[in-house]
A = this chain, B = another copy of it.
């Protein structure tokens, strides 16, 4: 944007879009809405939005006055989803500091690297996570204060160079209101590092403006579309792209939140659903796969839950159909840390509703909202049409899309050429098609696509087809070098216990009914025990490629 010097300005008020505004609104107009946090025993903890507003003000006072946190400084959280984490979500940015959510599933070295890169001064930690944090502390010289919330043994923190505080003691007696500052809406509000599979983690810094606009979008009818009559079970972690924006969005409309804390196993999730009766839930597919198995083994009354938002990776069609049977309507969403994350939501268009095409639309990644512009770039850099056929790398642009990565205080942001186009669009690294009516279908990660003889083979299409075989539990397909074709697919398959399926029959299954074109069928096959996963539960194909390269897989060539 190059503002015009001679632009005729409007007579509208110049009011910034700030997170403090969302907090003030939610804790007054929707003051009776609740955050319900699972504790694992007895009744869950219930805090009204009004209480959370008051406690957020107390936390801001404590951070500023007791811990000396000043404008723009980073205060980190190392926490599960719970009401105290929601307080940190609001207090830290609203007072002018930067919330840094730490992904507690990252390897210790990566975590230390990230805390040091962000120069976090404060870490708020759940007591139950002290065993993960304490061993790192010696490597975190910038951390001056540890604030502990909730049950858990504190002794591992003894002897740390940082001062240790109890969250409840710290905020006790502080004023329950705070004169939130009038900030620039483009100021940093929160940051989150991507768990990149190559190179160092990359910091994405969200602004007050980007979070505010994103929250409005989440509440638009064709996104999650919840109201204050809903309760959302927020399984997606708060350390994972702001829990898809739910903590902010719910404070705009009074949606109740049900927070699972550390109880993310299928059994307690089923128990939460039965007892607290949420109407909506948000999580990655692996969680739902587990929940489905649990509900099959031990049926529960989960009838309250009618809407499920699935993101992070594509929902297998069989899983979507199974949830339909249970009366839970799955809605796909696509996004990434760099997109805040809401990129697309798969609400079928009016003309498909009630027709055979409805399910097809639901299987796509979904439709772009107004604020997310999209384009496809082909292998040669050419722009591809929105015809539902031409596959290219997805590039996006918009007010809640990253245009750079954080490079440390006072340093110029990073804009690597493989991540950002010359004209500032984000290169998502995802390959897919866009239909004329703006529905995105992703077929692959750019790095996972198999380049065979100048054509692209989608590893994901092969995986989905394989996983629809009754004997296949999981399957991952990776590109391996091939003398004749450049690359060819290698199918790695996890079979159900006791299965007698062999590679020839699996290959025939893929070819059957035109599921997969003949030239795309894998020649190379191997059985593995389980597909390696990244810290956020995605297939880690980098590991499979490495194991193949190192001769560590027993490959059969048909």
Once the chains bind, are B386 and A210 in contact (CB under 8 Å)?
no
Q: Tell me if A353 is interfacial: C-beta within 8 Å of chain B.
A: yes
Contact partners of A187 in chain B: CB under 8 A: 4, 7-10
Whole-angstrom distance between the Cβ of A299 and the nearest chain B Cβ: 28
Query: Once the chains are docked, how many angstroms separate the CA of A371 from the CA of B16?
Result: 10
A31 within 8 A of B: yes
Q: Which residues from chain B contact A399 at a C-beta distance below 8 Å?
A: 12-15, 17
Label chain A's interface by main secondary structure. loop
Determine, out of A307-315, A401-409, A520-528, the stretch whose residues face the partner at the interface: A401-409
Residue A188 CB within 8 A of the other chain? yes
Q: Does A183 contact B (CB under 8 A)?
A: yes
Inter-chain contact A11/B404, CB cutoff 8 Å: yes
**Contacts of A254 on B, CB cut-off 8 Å?**
349-350
- Residues in chain B near residue A409, CB distance under 8 A: 8
- A186 and B10 form a contact (CB under 8 A): yes
B221 touching A253, Cβ below 8 Å: yes
Interchain CB contact under 8 A, B398 and A11: no
Given contacts A15-B1, A373-B21, A438-B28, contact A186 B220 (CB under 8 A): no
Please give the distance in Å from A338's CB to the nearest CB on chain B: 9
CB neighbours (8 Å) of A362 from chain B are none
- Nearest Cβ distance between residue A228 and chain B, in whole angstroms? 4
Contact assessment for B13 and A370 in the assembled complex, using a CB-CB cutoff below 8 Å: no
A206: chain B residues at CB < 8 Å are 10, 12
The answer to the question of A424 belonging to the interface, with a C-beta cut-off of 8 Å to chain B, is yes
Which residue of B has the minimal Cβ distance to A9?
A: B186
* Chain B residues, CB < 8 A from A373: 15, 21, 24
Known pairs A72-B8, A188-B8, A350-B228; A15 contacts B203 (CB<8 A): no
The answer to whether A397 and B11 have CB atoms under 8 Å apart is: no
Whole-angstrom distance between the Cβ of A470 and the nearest chain B Cβ: 37
